[in-house]
Amino acid sequence: MVIRLRSIKGQLAARNGLMKESPSAKTVIKTADDLIAKIDALEARLHNPKAEVFYDILAQKGGAQLYSKLITLFAFVTDSDGQLTQGIHEVYQEEKSELDQGIAGFRGLLEELSKLNEETKKLDLPGIIVPAVGKPKE
């Protein structure tokens, strides 16, 4: 999801840069800038995009974000020899709820992007391509 968000954000920013001198594109640029801000906010909830190294999970106010919490929980579960505790189940439910909210936010952003693409189509401007869900790169 983060890879897809970054691709969309990059396309929006690049297109805004190319259209900055076009008076007919001012509303599209403003809408795209608002969408970029929402993408940044969602990405910050999912993981720490400001981290300089992958294990730098506490580099921002608020500490570890969802990705780091899920990875830690996954490590606890895979390293466990016995039954999972009530606490592990409760933490999982909390993190799953947060992930579900992130997925809903992502879907909402895609709906906004679809509307923005319709606006740009009316102005005969290029639309934004949403990358397909694919196998993560190794």
Q: What pLDDT does residue 103 have?
A: 93
**60 alpha carbon, distance to own chain's centre:** 17
**Is residue 114 assigned to a domain?**
yes
Q: Please check whether residue 128 lies inside any domain of the structure.
A: no
d(CA 87, CA 43): 27
Indicate whether 103 belongs to any domain.
yes
- Count of domains forming the chain: 1
Structural domain span for residue 15: 2-122
How far is it, in rounded angstroms, from Cα 86 to Cα 29? 49
Question: How high is the mean pLDDT in each 10-residue block of the chain (138 residues)?
Answer: 93 94 89 96 82 56 72 86 90 92 95 95 89 71
Residue 93 tokens read as: 């439910």
